[in-house]
Structure 1
Amino acid sequence: MTETAHAVATAVRDCPECGASVADGGRYVTWCAACDWNVDPEVRDEEPPGRVERLRRRLARRGGEQLLAELTETEDRGTSGDADGAGPPGGRGGRRGAAGGLAVGLAVAVHGVTLALLVGGLWLVVAGWGEGFLPAFGALGIGLAVVLRPRFHRLPKGETHRPVLRRPDAPRLFALLDEVAQSVGTTGVDTVVIDADTNASVSTYGVRQRRVLHIGLGLWEILTPQERIALLGHEFGHYSHGDTRRGLLVWNAFLSLDTWRYTLAAQRAESLTDHFVNVVTAPPRLLVDGLLVLLEHLTLHDSQRAEYRADSAAARTAGTDAAAGLMDRLLISDGVTGELARESVAARTRIGGARREDPAEGLWGRLAAHAASVPEHEYERLRRVAERRGHQVDSTHPPTHLRRRRLTRGARVEARIVCAPPRVAEVDAELAEVRRSVARELVRR
């Protein structure tokens, strides 16, 4: 039976387009590397909902290509500042500074509207008390100001599926984080939040802007130890290189504008009143859309440059091969997310005693085995599909294939930090209970 299955998996046929030999892909897509026949067989509508989000993604793809060309030109001239995160003085850097200044000015104006609503609302309530509808309008303005107020990130509280770790909880993990942070020229984090996402990120929380690292086990568990170092190097690179969009002022301006969009969104017209409301709210709705697009445009270049710099930090910390491998793992993230969903469904729908063991036990091992079973020809196919579709982590990131191309072109970089097996085992031991807790919550959903 094994020989038969192997024979099927390795069967060869001719490509119907160019006649080249094509190996059967088994449970993966069969495609031709010579002419790209069947490289992207799925017909999907991947356009995100809403014209603003579609425009965001188009701008990100175009900007990623232009920025890659700019960085390549800079590096070819022998200027290494940008690669290391310093950026060349003058020239384009001056325009980036002007764009950042305009973005900050626009953010101040957005928050100024919120402040005006609050002050105006209070004045209407106090000055117009007992006089018609003025207090009601004032209360409405105060309510809008409260909804639109600037916010701080918060840590999850009392959520077993998102454990929060501090230094005494995992000293070896935090020691590794401090070492990676130091290697990219910054400091470590105060807390680590763990969940089942296929993602990772850094941010700040609270009035004192403490640092937090979010680790999604859906991504962490499919990475090799060195790719995990690359992931950490990339995330800490955001702290050391900065990003206008991640600043508290601009980030809250995006939140306020998104709230305005939600508030002014056109309703399904089922009556004459609905039509009237949609017509009345159309001008401010278009204004808000325009401001969102303008703020996106002003911050996009800086944000994508920060991503490229963070990728460079990942390569310097973990080595070029590990950083490029991390890009490949991002390409299979949708499949990994689907695998986690299947595990959750299988745990909830198991019949009788067909599967007596705890479905949470070994979950992350099964996920890692699934990712490890993806063959190289499938990764190559996904790279070509990513180039065709312009795959991105989100609208703030350059296309993934461009990020990988920049990492792999030119001379390889050796790792500054090599995570030896004993250290890997120590960190894994500290995370063992957290991994079990997150796995149990995942299979119960």
Structure 2
Amino acid sequence: MTAPSTVPAVACPRCAQPTVTTGLKKPWCPSCDWNIDQAVPVVLGWRFLDRRLYRVASRLTEAQFTALADGPLSPRRMTAARLTTLAASVVLLAVVLGIGILGLWLFFFDFISLGTILGAALLGMAFMLRPRLGRLSKLPEQGRLVDLDKAPHLVGLVERVAAAVGAPMPQVLLLGCELNAYTTTVGLRRTRVLCVGLPLWATLEPQERVALLGHELGHFVNGDVRRGLLTQVAETTLSRVAALFALDGIGGRGLLEYVSSIITRALGRVVAGIARTLQVLLVWISQRDSQRAEYLADEMAARAGGTAAAITLTDQIVMTDSIDTVVRREARAGHGMSAWHDAARVARSNLAPKVPLLRRLSRHTEVSLYASHPPAALRAEMLERRPAQAAAVTLTEAEAAHIDDELAVHEKRVIRELQG
């Protein structure tokens, strides 16, 4: 519908309501969502298919939210999605192992021949596609290891939160430099790791810190399909195949070399396209389970820190860019955690009136078939619609200050990282 000529230029051309530019470069309408999908996530690289997949992801995301908002929310140990992902992982492992065995046989069958070269190539391919379980030795690259003996207040808080949500204690604590936090398991022994970004920790209020720990530790017990030893194979192997065969460039001095490079590049792109398509199908199947696990982790955040703190923690996600900006500004000025907290508190207060707009925007901009997390807006709304919970763990200002004192030893290093 075309807006009447009397409507100001800033009015929506579809519904004639005022448009805004909050969060996007071009105006969009919060009343009818006109022009809100200015950027569609790239999945296959063909815009018309990506737009269709975006709409599919949007329908799936909204349908799952509707199904879970008023129903039971509990961990699932075995679902159709998990069974399919496990089966795909087993097949992929078998294929990689088969490639390795074939390569080994060809390498030694007629040594120093064309078969030897082909065998070496297959062995190299199997090595590149091998499952990665992560290494403890690589963890210092992601953050500074926290000496548990020198952080008794932090360890005590983590223990209390773990008990509240029924999760095992992490065996390694990392302190990162980003406005982020995560848990993971690494190695054959599946060592549990909790990483908390110091900038994120410093910008949160005490009960939000408890909710953050509740959410992250909840990932150890929420049945997330991404966390399994086998299911990780399906999540990563196909993407490596696509990257391995996505050959670029056509070269060669002679006509034969030129034609060969064209054929090789075409075959590589076909293999890469098949791998990407299969990956999309697996993601399509598994990501609903992953997003369900995120909702459950939010429920555990509410159980640990209280529903109110879990909601404000989730709302901070839609303010991340603004909070990151003020934290880096303070870091460039040489200021530490106290200044980050004060600057973030001012930024959150200034952005509070825009939270409804930022939530609405996130329902569209955070949707993708590859998205393992539901949009922040739906996570906050899920918490609001479910029964409110009182905090099982209370963190006082004095206790929070003790923890900050324990972490202050890492402050200068994080400031240097933020200044870079």
TM-score normalised to the size of structure 2? 0.82
Counterparts of residues 206-217 of structure 1 (less than 5 Å): 206-217=187-198
1:383 shift after superposition:
1.6
For 1:99, the equivalent position in structure 2 comes to: 81
Q: Does 1:403 align with 2:379?
A: yes
**DSSP-derived class of the 1:402 partner:** helix
- When structure 1 is superposed on structure 2, of 433-442 and 203-212 the one drifting more is 433-442
2:107 matches 1:113: no
Distance 1:177 1:377 in 2: 33
Bigger Cα displacement from structure 2, 177-186 vs 265-274: 265-274
Aligned to 2:293: 306
Work out the CA distance in 2 between the residues paired with 1:179 and 1:298.
35
Report the equivalent of 2:215: 234
Q: Secondary structure at the match of 1:202?
A: strand
Q: Distance in 2 between matches of 1:147 and 1:161?
A: 22
Aligned to 1:250: 231
| Structure 1 pair 377–395 and aligned structure 2 pair: CA distance change class (3 A) | same
User: Shift of the alpha carbon at 1:233?
Assistant: 0.8
CA distance 1:140–1:370, change in 2 (3 Å): farther
Letter of the 1:229 counterpart: V
Partner Cα separation in structure 1 for residue 131 and residue 402 of structure 2 = 41
What is the deviation of 1:421? 1.5
For residue 392 of structure 1, report the CA deviation from its aligned partner.
7.9
1:151 is the counterpart of 2:132:
yes
> CA, structure 1 residues 263+368, in 2 after alignment: closer, same or farther (shift >3 Å)?
same
Query: For the structure 1 residues 278 and 260, does the alpha-carbon distance in structure 2 shift closer, same or farther, using more than 3 Å as the test?
Result: same
Is the CA contact (8 Å cut-off) linking 2:69 and 2:386 kept in structure 1?
no
Could you tell me how far apart the structure 1 residues matched to 2:37 and 2:80 are? 42
Distance across 2 between alignment mates of 1:382 and 1:206: 39
2:314 corresponds to which residue?
A: 327
Letter in 2 for 1:137: L
Assess, with a 3 A threshold, how the Cα gap between structure 1 residues 322 and 286 changes in structure 2: closer, same or farther.
same
Residue 15 of structure 1: how far off its partner (Å): 11
Which residue of 373, 376, 384 maps to 2:360?
384
CA 1:201/1:358 → structure 2, altered by over 3 Å: closer, same or farther?
A: closer
- The equivalent of 1:64 in structure 2 is 61
Using the alignment, how far apart are the partners of 1:44 and 1:301 within structure 2?
A: 24
Indicate if the aligned counterparts of 2:144 and 2:176 stay in contact, CA closer than 8 A. Answer: yes
Q: Counterpart in 2 of 1:318?
A: 305
The secondary structure found in structure 2 opposite 1:193 is: strand
Task: Give 1:39 shift.
Answer: 9.6
The residue type equivalent to 2:45 in the other structure is R
TM-score by structure 1 length?
0.78
Q: Deviations over 1:193-238 (max 9, x none)?
A: 1122121110112221111111112322221111111111111111
The equivalent of 1:260 in structure 2 is: 241
Q: Distance in 1 between matches of 2:242 and 2:360?
A: 36
**2:350 pairs with 1:374:** yes
| Alignment-derived partner of residue 178 in structure 2 | 197
- Report the Cα offset of residue 123 of structure 1: 0.7
Which residue of 2 is the match for residue 294 of structure 1? Answer: 281
CA distance in 1, matches of 2:319, 2:82: 34
| C-alpha separation in 1, matches of 2:11 and 2:174 | 50
Where does residue 39 of structure 2 map in the other structure? 45
Coordinate RMSD, CA, aligned: 3.7
Q: Deviations over 1:310-344 (max 9, x none)?
A: 11111111111111101110001122334455567
- Gaps of at least 5 residues in structure 1 are 1-13, 76-81, 88-92, 348-356
Whole-angstrom distance in 1 between the partners of 2:369 and 2:176 = 18
Q: Structure 1 residues 393, 307: CA separation in 2 closer, same or farther (over 3 Å shift)?
A: farther
Match of 2:105 in 1: 123
Percent sequence identity over aligned pairs: 30
Amino acid at match of 1:47: P
Offset at residue 401 of structure 1 (A): 1.3
Q: Closer, same or farther in 2 for the Cα pair 1:86/1:228, shift >3 Å?
A: same
TM superposition shift of 1:59: 5.4
Once residues 406 and 163 of structure 1 are traced to their aligned partners in structure 2, the CA distance between those partners, rounded to angstroms, is 34
Give the Cα–Cα distance (whole angstroms) in 2 for the partners of residues 15 and 380 of structure 1: 23
1:40/1:181 CA distance change after superposition, 3 Å: farther
Deviates most, 265-274 or 202-211: 265-274
The number of residues matched between the two structures is 398
Partner of 1:7: none
For the 8 Å contact 1:200–1:214, the answer to whether it is kept is: yes
Distance across 1 between alignment mates of 2:227 and 2:337? 38
CA distance in 2, matches of 1:362, 1:227: 16
The CA deviation at 1:109 is 0.7
Match of residue 185 from structure 1: 166
Q: Is the 8 A contact 2:287 2:371 kept in 1?
A: no
- Secondary structure in 1 aligned to 2:102? helix
User: Match of 2:143, SS?
Assistant: coil
What is the CA distance between 1:430 and its match in structure 2?
A: 0.8
Which amino acid counterpart does residue 361 of structure 2 have in structure 1?
A: V
* Alpha-carbon separation, structure 2, partners of 1:50 and 1:340: 36
User: 1: CA distance between counterparts of 2:362 and 2:172?
Assistant: 34
Q: Comparing 105-114 with 269-278, which one deviates more in the overlay?
A: 269-278
The yes-or-no answer on 1:138 pairing with 2:119 is yes
How has the CA–CA distance of structure 1 residues 148 and 403 changed in structure 2, closer, same or farther, with 3 Å as cutoff? same
Structure 2 stretches lacking a partner, 5+ long: 1-7, 13-17, 252-257
